[in-house]
């Protein structure tokens, strides 16, 4: 791993720079530290930062850019005739990269046998077998053109690696020399270090922001791409969801949205009263002992992975409901997977979410309001109903909206508990499905990712994103105004 | 439980309203009030003074059993209101607190309208039969709280939107709306500016005609201005209790003298 070694060398250089810079600054002040403009540590940090930061930046850019550049060079050299009829340059290039990677691995493991490389024309299968031996499975035998392209890819990559190492070390050394030259007792190292740290933090923040923007943009562009292949009117107004990869699909989002909202509604009907009452009990009635024991216990529910809830829905709650409402009971239910099953289990999942948010919010209601109410001769339940809950209401509404946005985005429970039929129906004992479950089913299996049937996943994702974003924004706005009320 | 005749009962001689004997207050193991015995008169303002942490608030909260809301707090001894033991098993603290109102150090209006703040007590105690009754009770309470003129045009505005002094007078109005017999005030002016303080003090003097008042204060001048009786607490004990004029001019105990002359506290 040369990149890792390079990183270690940079760090080492940084440490050396720190020590040398610090010592030089102290020496420039004749050993009298109080003569320095800044603390000795600032001088050390200044040198260390000057060594590491520019070099790391160069390294990062190089690592990001190298594959792109290599791809461009190798693919322009690739003979057009050698591209199979039903494939594109991109596909061939991904083969080239896989083979190059496989050869690297084979070499690293010491199993690289030069013979099949030379006799490729006679024995195409031998190379494929060897690569499979190091864990790189190929879809087809290797053609001579692809092999030579991957060999030149490897050569270029190796020389690129060398150039990068040289350049990065050069930059580090230049930084070192520059920083050491400037290190003097008059130099304002503190200000430079502070500015440097600020820049680093801004950089981290911008990565977070840029990825978000990138994800949203990719959602938007793919959604637009989908709408070029499929009429938007069918997506937004169609009442039928019937994808067929042969073409002629009907991709109406309404049945899916209906399923999502219906299941979420049932989940909230379960979670809000239970969660809220649990929160009221915990924050207003429970003794500290009970609270210390019960609160973590409820919060364990929040740590259960949702797939476990899904199993619980499929294997426990579904059959249980069937025994009451199914053929042997009231006869309302045809199968264990239904809206009610998924809704109930999702409600259970949301209970700790609602209760711990509400608990925090109820606890934030100042004790002085409770005292004021008690002092007027009201009972505990009057105080809670008429003073504490009204004061906490905006925050609780915010908590419920946040819970709703989780319910809408929930996937595993509905995949396992709600069934797969997209249906516009009011009967909670019927199977229905949701936006999230359909995103999963559209992208699993042998889908062609360029077809509208697969791209619809982006449009569905975009729909979900817009809904949950709106819910979150409203919820946060409400919670924030509530917070300000008591500050 | 609500006594409509109280205006008639206490017209002439000052009666004893509260009588406390050997009261002890503990917070867990900490002994906050030690052997306090005192008799508080009706239609009188009694001031509790003393250095911070000496137990003024703790003792005050014994009088309406607000200490019951603190888990670790334990009260012993004997406290009688109009001759009845308020810590007797048969006494409901909720009803007691309707008779003994309280105003807190920091104004604490509910996040409701001004009207609903004042109507809160009368509503939960069912003091009004009709909307008109309630309107009347609210207006009367706001007038007694000396804040009616300032808020009469905006009764439906939130109580939390008033200034600090107005909020405190609203809280006083809220407390008097349930027609208590005693009003306890724990440093009611400590969060107020001098003008608001003067208004509240004027109000206290006015309320003395109908109630027995107990006021905790850190300001010696305030105690001298508004009270007729003064109790000086020190380290959890009641050191001296008597006529305000006598306490301030001629204290018996040397600790009292050091405190009012500013040497301890
Ligand atoms: N809720 C409480 N929990 C524990 N200790 C308390 C509590 N309230 C008051 N105390 C203690 O009781 C003593 C008297 O306090 P307090 O009655 O508030 O004094 P004051 O009102 O005269 O300043 C103090 O030592 C204080 O620390
Ligand atoms: Mg106090």
- Å from CA of B36 to ligand 2 middle: 17
Provide the domain count of chain B.
Answer: 1
Mutate to test the interface with A, among B108, B121, B190 (most CBs of A within 10 A): B108
Atom number in ligand 1 closest to CA B59: 17
- Å from CA of B93 to ligand 1 middle: 21
Is B155 inside any structural domain?
no
Is B175 inside any structural domain?
no
Written in H, E and C, the secondary structure of chain B is: CCCCCHHHHCCCCCCEEEEEEEEEEEECCEEEEEEEEEEEECCCEEEEECCCCCCHHHHHHHHCCHHHHCCCEEEEEEEEECCEECCCCCCCHHHHHHHEEEECCCCCCCCCEHHHHHHHHHHHCCCCCCHHHHHHHHHHHHHHCCCHHHHCCCCCCEHHHCCHHHHHHHHHHHHHCCCCCEEEEECCCCCCCHHHHHHHHHHHHHHCCCCEEEEECCCHHHHHHHCCEEEEEECCEEEEEEEHHHHHHCCCCHHHHHHHCCCCC
Residue B79 sits in which domain range? Answer: 4-108+182-260
Is B35 inside any structural domain?
yes
pLDDT 10s digit of each residue in chain A, 487 long? 578 889 999 999 999 999 999 999 888 888 888 888 888 889 999 999 999 999 999 999 999 998 888 888 888 877 777 677 666 777 778 878 888 888 888 777 776 666 556 555 455 666 777 777 777 777 666 777 778 888 888 888 888 888 999 999 999 999 999 999 988 888 888 888 899 899 989 999 999 999 999 999 999 999 999 999 888 888 888 888 888 777 778 888 899 999 999 999 999 999 999 999 999 999 999 988 898 998 888 888 888 999 999 999 999 998 888 888 888 778 787 787 888 999 999 999 999 999 998 998 899 899 999 999 999 999 999 999 999 998 888 889 888 998 999 999 988 888 888 888 888 888 888 888 889 988 888 888 766 777 888 888 999 999 999 999 999 898 888 877 766 655 4
- In this prediction, the answer to ipTM > 0.85 reads yes
Chain A partners within 8 Å of B66 (Cβ) = 371, 374-375
Query: Which residue's C-alpha comes closest to atom 7 of ligand 1?
Result: B27
Atom number in ligand 1 closest to CA B52: 23
Query: Which residue's C-alpha comes closest to atom 25 of ligand 1?
Result: B53
Give the CATH number for residue B96: 3.40.50.300
Model-wide pTM > 0.80: no
Quick check: A368 contacting B, CB < 8 Å?
A: yes
Indicate the residue of A288, A378, A390 with minimum beta-carbon distance to B124. Answer: A378
- Å from CA of B95 to ligand 1 middle: 25
Is B176 inside any structural domain?
no
CATH class of A241-486: mainly alpha
- Helices B131-144 and B164-176, packing angle to 10 deg: 130
Domain ranges of chain A: 3-187, 241-486
Is B115 inside any structural domain?
no
Chain A partners within 8 Å of B124 (Cβ) = 376-378, 382, 386
- Conformation bin of residue B83: beta by default, left when phi > 0, alpha when psi is -120 to 50: left
Query: Which residue's C-alpha comes closest to atom 24 of ligand 1?
Result: B53
Residue among A314, A306, A315 nearest A346 (CA): A306
Question: What is the Cα gyration radius of chain A?
Answer: 32
């Amino acid at each position: 791993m040369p990149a890792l070694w390079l990183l270690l060398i940079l760090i080492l250089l940084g440490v050396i720079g720190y020590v040398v810079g610090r010592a030089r600054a102290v020496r420039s002040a004749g050993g009298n530290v109080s003569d320095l403009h800044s603390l000795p540590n600032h001088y050390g940090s200044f040198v260390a930062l000057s060594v590491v930061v520019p070099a790391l930046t160069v390294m990062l850019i190089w690592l990001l850019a190298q594959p792109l550049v290599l791809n461009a060079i190798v693919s322009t050299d690739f003979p057009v005739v050698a591209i199979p009829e039903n494939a594109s340059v991109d596909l061939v290039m991904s083969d080239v990269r896989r083979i190059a990677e496989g050869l690297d691995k084979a070499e690293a493991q010491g199993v690289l046998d030069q013979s099949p490389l030379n006799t490729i024309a006679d024995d195409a299968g031998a190379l494929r077998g060897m690569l499979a031996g190091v864990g790189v499975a190929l879809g087809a035998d290797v053609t001579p053109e692809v092999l030579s392209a991957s060999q030149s890819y490897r050569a270029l990559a190796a020389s690129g690696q060398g150039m990068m190492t040289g350049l990065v070390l050069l930059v580090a050394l230049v930084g070192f020399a520059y920083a050491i030259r400037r290190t003097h007792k008059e130099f304002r190292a503190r200000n430079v270090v502070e500015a440097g740290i600020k820049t680093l933090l801004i950089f981290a923040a911008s990565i977070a922001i840029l990825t978000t923007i990138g994800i949203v943009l990719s959602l938007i562009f793919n959604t637009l791409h989908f709408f070029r292949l499929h009429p938007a009117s069918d997506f937004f107004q169609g009442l039928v969801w019937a994808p067929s990869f042969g073409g002629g699909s009907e991709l109406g989002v309404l049945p899916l949205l209906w399923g999502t909202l219906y299941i979420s509604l049932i989940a909230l009907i379960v979670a809000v009263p239970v969660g809220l009452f649990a929160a009221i009990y915990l924050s207003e009635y429970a003794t500290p002992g009970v609270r210390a024991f019960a609160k973590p216990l409820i919060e364990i529910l929040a740590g259960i992975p949702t797939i476990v809830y899904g199993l619980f829905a499929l294997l426990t709650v579904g059959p249980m409901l069937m025994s009451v409402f199914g053929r042997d009971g009231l006869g309302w239910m045809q199968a264990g997977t239904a809206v009610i099953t998924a809704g109930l289990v999702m409600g259970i999942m949301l209970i700790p979410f609602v209760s711990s948010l509400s608990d925090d919010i109820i606890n934030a209601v100042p004790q002085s309001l409770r005292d004021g109410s008690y002092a007027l001769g009201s009972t505990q339940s009057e105080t809670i109903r008429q003073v504490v809950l009204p004061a906490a209401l905006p925050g609780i509404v915010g908590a419920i909206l946040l819970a709703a946005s989780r319910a809408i985005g929930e996937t595993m429970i509905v995949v396992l508990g709600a069934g797969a039929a997209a249906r516009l129906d009011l009967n909670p004992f019927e199977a229905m499905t949701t936006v999230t479950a359909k995103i999963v089913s559209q992208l699993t299996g042998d889908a062609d990712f360029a077809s509208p049937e697969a791209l619809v996943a982006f449009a569905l994702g975009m729909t979900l994103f817009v809904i949950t974003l709106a819910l979150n924004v409203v919820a946060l706005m409400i919670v924030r105004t509530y917070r300000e009320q008591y500050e | 439980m609500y006594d409509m005749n109280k205006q008639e009962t206490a017209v002439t001689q000052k009666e004893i309203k509260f009588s406390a004997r050997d009261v002890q207050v503990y917070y867990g193991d900490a002994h906050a009030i030690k052997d306090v015995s005192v008799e508080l008169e009706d239609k009188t303002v009694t001031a509790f003074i003393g250095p911070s942490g000496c137990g003024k608030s703790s003792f005050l909260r014994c009088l309406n059993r607000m200490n019951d809301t603190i888990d670790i707090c334990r009260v012993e001894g004997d406290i009688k209101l109009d001759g009845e033991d308020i810590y007797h098993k048969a006494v409901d603290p909720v009803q007691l607190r309707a008779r003994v109102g309280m105003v807190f150090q920091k104004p604490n209006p509910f996040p409701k309208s001004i009207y609903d703040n004042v109507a809160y007590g009368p509503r939960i105690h069912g003091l009004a039969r009709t909307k008109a009754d309630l309107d009347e009770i609210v207006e009367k309470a706001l007038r007694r709280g000396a804040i009616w003129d300032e808020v009469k045009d905006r009764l439906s505005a939130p109580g939390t939107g008033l200034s600090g002094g107005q909020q405190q007078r609203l809280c006083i109005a809220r407390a008097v709306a349930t027609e208590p017999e005693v009003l306890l005030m724990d440093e009611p002016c400590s969060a107020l500016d001098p003008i608001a303080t003067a208004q509240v003090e004027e109000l206290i003097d006015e309320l003395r005609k109908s109630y027995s008042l107990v006021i905790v204060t850190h300001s010696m001048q305030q105690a001298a201005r508004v009270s007729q009786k003064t109790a000086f607490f020190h380290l959890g004990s009641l050191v001296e209790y008597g006529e305000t004029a006598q306490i301030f001019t001629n204290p018996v105990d040397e600790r009292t003298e050091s405190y009012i002359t500013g040497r301890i506290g």
